Structure 1
Amino acid sequence: MAEENCHLLPEIVEEILCSLPTKSLIRCRCVSKSWRSLISEHRFVRKHLSRGAQQKILIPIPSPSANENMYYSQEIMPIKRGEYFCAPFSGSNYWEVLDSCDGLLCVRMDMSIYIWNPCLKTYRKILTPSGKQNFDDFSYLGFGYDSTRNDYKILKLSRFRLGYMTETQVFSLKSDSWRKLDDFPEDYSPWASVFLNGSIHWLATEIMRQNPFALFSFDLLAEKYREIRLPEYCPISLYNDNYIVDLNLCVLKGILCVLVVWKSCLVLWAMKDYYSDHDKSWTKILDIRLNLVLEMFCIPVDFKPFYLYENGEVLMGVVSHQRTELLLCKDNTVLSREIIFNKPSVISYGFVHVESLVSPLGSCGKLETRNSTG
């Protein structure tokens, strides 16, 4: 549609454009200068993001080439056959997606960190607080959005080699700088972070404690830690009857969830009352005997919940050394399964993400038009 032939009111044009998928909007930038300006505005980018985009599962997968990093992307509603893509950065066959926020992925490849928008095909390499290219092996990282300051942030916890004390630093995408904060409050080793309600949440462990598991959150606005009660029936030992206890932290439909693999059971807990500090705020939404799943796979098995549907069904990824599959579960039943690919993947590094116009290159929430070359 040529600009001079458009007779619709500007607010109607904006509403129509805001309802389009992200990839269509990227093409629409070429229609006219006014459309390009509108689609690039911070206000429009945030408005389009708030309308809700198609959610997809993204799973890093091994590549035969050390110069390629592959990922698999599949839509959730409706579930369709996925696609394989190459990440724009290369040089290693080991990489993980630390977290996804507003269409931006925080990716760790070896000891380098990138903020990447797969839809825009843009990424940005993050330097360490000392200005070096690589992060050390003892760093734990989380990623999230500070809505008050309109700023995406990386939280870095550095564990000292000879102890459990951790130093805390935060990176601001807007200012492109690091700041040192108060240290991590407990002698736990943090791992497995997710972002929700303006806070980064960490599972942490300390084998020598009576209860080795803990859950902490860090508020990106207040820059304060707090400990959150885990479900009442979480195991208190890392090993129980020869079964290795595994905990997996995830966010399903805006709800903080913990997947517990304990003895012969796989239990998914949802924190229905996020702001309550009582263990009864947790509700069990899935309780499956592992033999229902293990008979389909060869051990070892890894699990990753991806999506919670309105009818209570849970979409979960399962991986063995033979293949990677998606299971649809409800209550204590496996309803269906689908093979994604006939090889293993690091399913625990998979995430649900949305396509968005948010760019990692410039001002937060503003669409940049150039591609990053790293």
Structure 2
Amino acid sequence: MASFPDDITVDILLRLPVKSLARFWCVCKSWKSLLASAYFVKAHLDRSSKFRTVGLLKYDDNNSTRIGGYRSHRRELSHLDPSFGHPDRYDAVGSCNGVLCLTIYYKDNPDLSDIFIWNPSIHECMVVPQLHCHVSGLIAFGFYPLSGHLDDFKVVSISFYFGAHPDCHSSEAQIYSLRSNSWKKIGNSFPSWLDKNLGHQVVFQNFICWCPYACVDGQIVTPLVLLDTVEDASARNPSSQCYEVWTMKEFGVTESWTKLYTTTVFTNGFLQCWPLGAASFGEVLFVKCFYFGLRFCLPSHVVSYDARRSEFEEFKVEVDSDCSSQLVPYVESLVSVVTRD
């Protein structure tokens, strides 16, 4: 059988998921060279960003951390097996170019903590070299787009120090570069008063952003993220027991904030629903909790809210609490965290 022209072969391969492409590495040397090339990796990432974006749901169940890919059209969760062993607990810092950053904690040694960079699609993982100090405070994850390398990932660690007087408060920020495999100190460059008031990060137009948890005009503001990378936030109005979902159309322009829709959340003195994030446009994931006094008496569950139909739909995911649950936007990619040019 005559072979396809190269451009048609490339076009076919670009349409395949990473799991299939990983099997083709052994077909021949030319395919292996193609699939590992910077051109193909970028082209496949660009296409996946349009058609294969999913939400990764990280949650704790019976004090054990789990993570799975949530596909809204199926209302199902496909569990991922971590490539970094079986830690007692970990948190998802964020994702970029199909790569996740995780912070790992160990029960047997509370003073020991690690930072991992992981591409679950190709089962590659590496541990970030230890800082001179304990991993604490604020961790952020992104990449430097001007270098021209999709794997030029950066990890930011910000530690806070509090003196007896507010004037004595300070912070110390350090940046890790994956390509140089080294840390760099950038000093006291972050407001120390924000350390306990930030939500999960959002990467928006190559900026790492946070949405502070705060009460503004009687509204509790919490972060939501849409999978098309547009920064969103939800504001809760205690009097009406609903959430308003807003989006920033232009970065840094206050006037560009636009309300997308309002979610009708059924809450009372016992039932509370806390937003995790937007799984797709018009669908928001919540953690439904039942409070009796100061303790949970019934299990908490993840529920899906369809804003177009104003309806909740449950699927069988039980979580320890809303505080330990995160929804992180993710896209499959061939970006390596091990090899270098």
The one of 229, 248, 253 equivalent to 2:223 is 248
Number of aligned residues: 311
The answer on 1:282 being equivalent to 2:263 is no
Task: Report the TM-score when normalising by structure 1.
Answer: 0.74
Q: Counterpart of 2:303?
A: 326
1:188 partner SS: helix
Cα 1:348–1:194 shift into 2, 3 Å: farther
**Alpha-carbon distance, 1:343 to partner:** 4.2
The one of 201, 215, 223 equivalent to 2:209 is 201
2:95 partner SS: strand
The answer on 1:94 being equivalent to 2:95 is no
Return the letter of the residue paired with 2:34: L
Deviations 1:293-342 (A, max 9, x none): x26x9545321122342xxx2332324252323323327x6234122324
Q: Output aligned runs, 1:1-374, within 5 Å.
A: 7-52=3-48, 53-63=51-61, 69-76=65-72, 78-110=73-105, 111-130=113-132, 135-137=134-136, 139-149=137-147, 150=149, 151-162=152-163, 164-181=169-186, 183-190=188-195, 191=198, 192-204=200-212, 213=214, 235=216, 245-263=220-238, 264-276=241-253, 279-290=254-265, 292=266, 294=267, 299-309=271-281, 313-320=282-289, 322-330=299-307, 334-344=310-320, 346=322, 348-363=325-340
Rounded to whole Å, the distance in 1 between the matches of 2:271 and 2:178 is 41
Task: Report the TM-score when normalising by structure 2.
Answer: 0.81
Rounded to whole Å, the distance in 2 between the matches of 1:342 and 1:157 is 32
Rounded to whole Å, the distance in 2 between the matches of 1:281 and 1:27 is 45
Deviations 1:100-138 (A, max 9, x none): 1111111111221101111111211112343x7xx333x
Cα 1:249–1:306 shift into 2, 3 Å: closer
Identify unmatched segments of 5+ residues in structure 2: 106-112, 290-295
Return the letter of the residue paired with 1:142: A
Return the letter of the residue paired with 1:159: F
Q: Counterpart of 2:293?
A: none
Identify unmatched segments of 5+ residues in structure 1: 206-212, 214-233, 367-374
Moved segments of 4+, more than 6 Å: none
> Please, what is the CA RMSD of the aligned residues?
2.7
More strand by share: 2
